[in-house]
Amino acid sequence: MWGRLYCVIDLKFLRENPDVVRASQVNRGEDPAIVDQLLAADESRRQSIQKADELRSEQKAFGKKIGQAAPEDRPKLLEGSNELKAKVKEAEEAQNAAEAEVTRLQYMLSNVVEGAPAGGEDDFVLVEEVGEIPEFDFEPKDHLELGESLGLIDVKRGAKVGGARFYYLTGDGAFLQLGMLMLAAQKAREAGFQLMIPPVLVRPDIMQGTGFLGQHSDEVYYLPADDLYLVGTSEVALAGYHKDEIIDLSDGPLRYTGWSSCFRREAGSHGKDTRGILRVHQFDKLEMFVYCKPEDAAEQHQQLLQMEKDMLAAMELPYRTIDIAGGDLGDSAARKYDNEAWVPTQGTYRELTSTSNCTTFQARRLSIRYRDENGKAQTAATLNGTLATTRWLVAILENHQQADGSVVVPEALRPFVGKDVLTPKK
């Protein structure tokens, strides 16, 4: 189903640093025993390769012997050749089985954690809090009540047409989102990113290669008649853009930003955040994606994080940055930072954006390489980060509301929306 599969974790790294990989598994709350199973399978694979190579070499030499033998001796030699041929076939089957077992176990290992705190969802480390939490001298409305009264959001007709967790952005609501995404696209271009509008349907090998068919595969929409997946983020299509290529990083990282609709099943979230547009099945997003040399990945990660912070500042939102614990990382991320904006009616911070360093995990699966200073092909590193998405409207509406039910448009969005203040519809 997947076509050709590439290495997931560098087996040389695994052999030389098994304790590091075991510790990563423990950090994630996953089974460290897989490391030893994979090491044993790798040893078995290498032995099977050696045995098959020896038999093939013996078969080749035996073939020359038959060619040089007298006619009367050949029938007996041919019998031995057939026996050797059967042994070679058996050895090759054993080699294929051993390689399949290595691949199976490799795909059970998530990326090796780099610097993330241990623990689960609640064990993040607070990096900083930015901005002042608003204090209202009136009872604040939530984003849906504001969105409906201002004529920005229509969830009733969204449910009528698409079912639960679908919605319409209407009038100024549509301009508010388009303006936010356009501003993000402009900021990305100024930072050297190439804007793309990528496919939202991708092949299985691309979805698998980016690490989205692991423990969170139940979040993904699959179209069996076409053997295609709907993306939950344009990260998937941007990661697949250079699949099976040797890219040129001699002038620095390649930086792309994808504008697309995204689709998530939200499996397992029944009863959570069902009101409004905080957790929905379809939304728009501007995603940053970077290919770089592994030694540059940590610096690129900080740059993506700063771009997200700058965009949140432009939206005039109070937020906090947290360092996500290993047990809450996706399969492909070695480290991830979330930026969470304050949501007044919930009295808490909620995630608006995140950025992940995936090191060589995705590029190794997708066979994306670059040439080092000696001309040798090396596996690239990949990173991603969200610069704007539909969910941001929740925080924008709630934090900028006024007593009369109006909402002040952030100054940076006014050229796109065409208004300074959104007022309730009569």
Q: Which residues are annotated as a binding site?
A: 233-235, 264-266, 280-283, 287, 351-354, 384, 386
Please state the residue numbers annotated as binding site for ATP.
Answer: 264-266, 280-283, 351-354
Q: CB-based contacts of 152: which residues, under 8 Å, 6+ apart?
A: 146, 169, 170, 171, 172, 173, 176, 393, 397, 422
**Residue 56 near residue 88, CB atoms below 8 Å:** yes
CA distance 15 to 297: 23
Among 279, 320, 371, 414, which one carries the catalytic annotation?
279
CA distance 408 to 392: 15
How would you classify the pairing of strands 335-343 and 348-357?
antiparallel
What residues are paired with 369 via a beta bridge?
A: 246, 379
Among 92, 129, 316, 351, which one carries the catalytic annotation?
351
Among 24, 48, 332, 354, which one carries the catalytic annotation?
354
Among 145, 364, 391, 398, which one carries the catalytic annotation?
391
Query: Is residue 189 among the annotated active site residues?
Result: no
Query: Is residue 4 among the annotated active site residues?
Result: no
Q: CB-based contacts of 178: which residues, under 8 Å, 6+ apart?
A: 416
CA 238 to centroid of chain Cα atoms? 10
CA distance 336 to 114: 10
Tell me which DSSP letter residue 151 carries: T
Q: What are phi and psi of 280, to 5 degrees?
A: -130, 170
Query: Is residue 83 among the annotated active site residues?
Result: no
Specify the residue for token string 């957790």.
279
What residues are paired with 288 via a beta bridge?
A: 257, 385
Please state the residue numbers annotated as binding site for L-serine.
Answer: 233-235, 264, 287, 384, 386
DSSP-derived 3-state class of residue 388: strand
**Residue 181 near residue 284, CB atoms below 8 Å:** yes
Among 28, 45, 165, 264, which one carries the catalytic annotation?
264
Query: Is residue 367 among the annotated active site residues?
Result: no
Query: Is residue 264 among the annotated active site residues?
Result: yes
Catalytic residues: 264, 279, 351, 354, 391
